[in-house]
Amino acid sequence: MTIYLLCLVLFSLGVYCMLRKRNIIKIIVGVIIAEYAVNLFFILVAYRMEGRAPIFSPEAEIVNMVDPLPQALVLTSIVIGLATTAVLVAIAMRIYEKYGTFDITKIRELRG
Amino acid sequence: MMGANNILPLFVIISLAGAFLTSIIGKRLKWFSDIMGSLTTLILFVLSLLAVRIVNTQGVVVYSVGAWKPPFGIAMVLDGFAAFMLVTVNLVAFSIAVYSINYMEKFTSKWKFYTLFLLMVGGMNGVVITGDMFNLFVFLEIASVASYALVAFGTERHELEAAFKYAVMSTLGSLFILLSIALLYSYTSTLNMADMATVLAEKGPKNITLMVSVLFIMGFGLKAALVPFHAWLPDAHPSAPAPISAMLSGVLIKSLGVYTLCRIFYNVIGMSPTISSILMFLGALSMVIGGLLAIGQWDFKRLLAYSSISQIGYIVLGIGLGTPLGILGGLFHLFNHSVFKSLLFLNSGAVEYSTGTRDLQQMGGLSKKMPVTSATNIIASMSITGIPPFSGFWSKLLIIIAAVQAGRYGYAFLAVLVSVLTLAMYMKVLKYAFFGSLREKWSQIKEVPFFMKLSMGTLAFICLVGGVLFLRSVSGVFLRPASEALLEGIKYAAIVLKGGQ
């Protein structure tokens, strides 16, 4: 249970970072942290303590295997996270070129 | 095995192949990217019409990727609702690809635009066609990442700021969606939507379903820009190049937001009165707030973006009612809105192309100089405000009648009220932009080039005859199968699993 709570703390930290920080780079770091927390959670829900790799062989008995599917999924999700981060960083670099600052309180020409 | 189901992966493959070829060849041959963009979307549009025919003759078709039978492998499912969305997405994508031939001339690297555009279309088609939860997330992200880059395509100050805001908000939405997929997987031990629906129905409602529902509403609500989650839309949609604004407002928020909401709540989790009232409330809220905010805008595209929020409200209200008529009206409005809102954004692009401004106060009397743009704009405006012969009237009428039938008089009243607001905001556009006396500085402007006129004319024609879809014989082919697919609810599971064998 504790481990899930820690995972939640990590996620909340990421979201807090996204919502409260004023520096664009810190916001991007927040996005990454939140992403990792979700990935970690996905791994955790399928993980068993003291589990073993799910490889069938004649002598091994089928007990306590780790579900391999979420690990494959999380691999995909990490790659997607990489793409998102790359786009975010690229945009952040261009923003710095145009505005000369990373402070979002100074980058406020549009009002939602 | 040759069968009708082999058409399903083509929707993803063709668009991704188009994007790939454009990215490697379009760089060297200038004309290639234009041809490729229009040709790919044309093929996809024809295929989607074929898909409607397949659904009508053979019912639900399932394709198992890599011959892994459901529920183990990834399944692609074509039912009435998916076919309906495919036609909507690809119709709008095709007209926008044609429009971009001329419009995108003023940007430097057209091939990058077409690559990202086709990638986005591929992602949207994938979201619609897939029957697998995680696959849905992957396609959702493909479409989203392409759209972040497209919003920032102009790389000017406003574009970048809007793109950053949009990217962060939308990523947060995706994280909620992934989190709820993880929770659902841990609860049901399956990712196939049909199988998931069966397991959830067996286990009965528990707290976790409620938690997952809330996370899904947050995630997909962010993608669909329902009101508490709408803040990114009025910045992102106007900042993108006009064809992309049309694409984002026309189909992206619908296929990524509304379609997924409907699919998951009707076919996987199962509709409950609580969810239904939440959706109706959010719909009505978006409708009113979007409408009120739109009236005060002076930027042409920003006004249209707020109006999109308001119209999405109508769609969600109709679908949230949960009655057959409400769903039919909601879906009909979804189709109509994607046609006329794309047309309106293309009009705003045409005005910007000729005059270089988006400020309504700067314009005036443009109808004398740009007859095609103003004529199509009048048709689209009448359609969106719900003037009788045009398509928007019938869908709004259906939603209002459905709300009255369901005994939701308050919501019906709001829908009528917002319709008046909509009328006011589009009268404002027509008055300031197209009617009145021509300003001195616009005396030299010209009408837009041929392909832009062609694409706007086609969409205007669909607005004009869109009411036909409402006729019994036509709606039986196109709209009714879509609403039936939603109405059959979690019986979807049995149909899909049977079709996969």
Report which listed range, B94-103, B106-115, B491-500, is most confident. B94-103
CA distances from B21 to B30, B128, B251, B409 (A): 13, 23, 24, 53
- B177 vs B405: CA distance, rounded Å: 34
Sign of torsion, CA B23 B243 B167 B84? negative
- Closest in A15, A88, A99 to B167, CB measured: A88
CA distance, residue A60 to nearest chain B CA (Å): 24
Residue A112 pLDDT > 60: no
For the stretch B448-464, pLDDT in tens is: 889 999 999 999 999 88
CA distance, residue A49 to nearest chain B CA (Å): 16
| B208 shares contact with chain A (CB less than 8 Å) | no
Q: Which of B137, B155, B171 to mutate to probe the A interface, most A CBs <10 Å?
A: B171
CA distances from B331 to B70, B81, B214, B335 (A): 28, 9, 23, 6
Sign of torsion, CA A37 A42 A44 A45? positive
- B304 vs B223: CA distance, rounded Å: 18
Mean pLDDT of chain B: 90
Q: Are residues B87 and B58 part of one domain?
A: yes
- Closest in A46, A69, A91 to B152, CB measured: A91
Q: What pairs with residue A103 in β-bridges? A: A23
Chain B hits for A94, CB-CB cut-off 8 Å, are 152, 155, 160
Cross-chain residue pair B178–A83, CB shorter than 8 Å: no
The full set of domain ranges for chain A reads: 2-49+63-99
Query: B486 in a domain, yes or no?
Result: no
For B:217-236, CB contacts with A below 8 A are 231-232, 234-235
Q: Are residues B365 and B321 part of one domain?
A: yes
Q: Which of A8, A13, A84 to mutate to probe the B interface, most B CBs <10 Å?
A: A84
* C-alpha B326, offset from chain centre: 18
* Tally of domains in chain B: 2
Residue ranges making up the domain that contains B3? 1-270+491-501
SS (H, E, C) B12-76: HHHHHHHHHHHHHHCCCCHHHHHHHHHHHHHHHHHHHHHHHHHHHHHCCEEEEHHHCCCCCCCEE
- B229 vs B166: CA distance, rounded Å: 11
Chain B hits for A109, CB-CB cut-off 8 Å, are 157-158, 161
Whether the Cβ atoms of residue B296 and residue B241 lie closer than 8 Å to each other: no
Closest Cα partner for B253 from B181, B151, B152?
B151
Q: What pairs with residue A23 in β-bridges? A: A103
Q: Are residues B223 and B334 part of one domain?
A: no
| B145 shares contact with chain A (CB less than 8 Å) | yes
Q: State residue B492's pLDDT score.
A: 82
Residue B500 confidence class, pLDDT cut points 50, 70, 90: low
- Closest in A27, A42, A76 to B182, CB measured: A42
Closest Cα partner for B211 from B185, B233, B184, B234?
B184
- What is residue B376's three-state secondary structure? helix
Closest Cα partner for B457 from B373, B396, B331?
B373
Q: State residue A111's pLDDT score.
A: 64
Chain A hits for B156, CB-CB cut-off 8 Å, are 98
Query: B123 in a domain, yes or no?
Result: yes
Q: State residue B2's pLDDT score.
A: 52
Q: In this structure, which topology does domain A2-49+63-99 adopt according to CATH?
A: Helix Hairpins (1.10.287)
CA distance, residue A20 to nearest chain B CA (Å): 13
* C-alpha B26, offset from chain centre: 27
Q: Are residues B266 and B280 part of one domain?
A: no
Q: Are residues B301 and B204 part of one domain?
A: no
Chain A residue nearest residue B231, CA to CA? A112
Which amino acid is located at A71 in the chain? Q
Q: Are residues B248 and B302 part of one domain?
A: no
**Mean pLDDT score, B283-287:** 93
- What is residue B375's three-state secondary structure? helix
**Mean pLDDT score, B26-51:** 91
| B196 shares contact with chain A (CB less than 8 Å) | no
Residue B291 confidence class, pLDDT cut points 50, 70, 90: very high
Phi and psi, residue B406, nearest 5°: -80, 0
For the stretch A21-70, pLDDT in tens is: 999 999 999 999 999 999 999 999 888 877 777 777 777 776 778 888 89
- B324 vs B327: CA distance, rounded Å: 5
Q: State residue B156's pLDDT score.
A: 86
| B298 shares contact with chain A (CB less than 8 Å) | no
For the stretch B379-416, pLDDT in tens is: 999 999 988 888 889 899 999 999 999 999 999 999 99
Query: B396 in a domain, yes or no?
Result: yes
SS (H, E, C) B279-303: HHHHHHHHHHHHHHHHHCCCEHHHH
**Mean pLDDT score, B290-318:** 92
Query: B480 in a domain, yes or no?
Result: no
Residue B1 pLDDT > 60: no
Cross-chain residue pair B178–A42, CB shorter than 8 Å: yes
Answer with the residue of higher pLDDT: B16 or B492.
B16
CA distances from B230 to A78, B171, B342, B499 (A): 27, 14, 19, 38
For the stretch B342-370, pLDDT in tens is: 999 999 999 988 888 888 888 878 888 88
Closest Cα partner for B8 from B91, B90, B126?
B126
Residue B479 confidence class, pLDDT cut points 50, 70, 90: confident
Residue B45 pLDDT > 60: yes
Closest Cα partner for B295 from B381, B424, B434?
B424
Sign of torsion, CA B173 B346 B290 B397? negative
Whether the Cβ atoms of residue B67 and residue B73 lie closer than 8 Å to each other: yes
Q: State residue B362's pLDDT score.
A: 84
CA distance, residue A84 to nearest chain B CA (Å): 6
Cross-chain residue pair A112–B155, CB shorter than 8 Å: no
Q: Are residues B422 and B306 part of one domain?
A: yes
For the stretch B140-173, pLDDT in tens is: 999 999 999 999 998 888 899 999 999 999 999 9
Q: Are residues B287 and B266 part of one domain?
A: no
- B221 vs B205: CA distance, rounded Å: 22
Query: B249 in a domain, yes or no?
Result: yes
* HSE, side-chain direction, 13 A CA sphere, residue B324: 6
Residue B73 pLDDT > 70: yes
Q: Are residues B345 and B443 part of one domain?
A: yes
| B299 shares contact with chain A (CB less than 8 Å) | no
CA distance, residue A58 to nearest chain B CA (Å): 24
Eight-class DSSP state of B77: E
Q: Are residues B324 and B191 part of one domain?
A: no
> Could you give the percent of chain B with pLDDT greater than 90?
57
Residue A5 confidence class, pLDDT cut points 50, 70, 90: very high
Task: Enter the ipTM.
Answer: 0.94
* C-alpha A6, offset from chain centre: 14
Q: Are residues B195 and B292 part of one domain?
A: no
| B162 shares contact with chain A (CB less than 8 Å) | yes
CA distance, residue A9 to nearest chain B CA (Å): 14
Answer with the residue of higher pLDDT: B404 or B109.
B404
Hey, which bits of B379-435 come out as E strands? none
Cross-chain residue pair B134–A45, CB shorter than 8 Å: no
Phi and psi, residue B132, nearest 5°: -125, 135
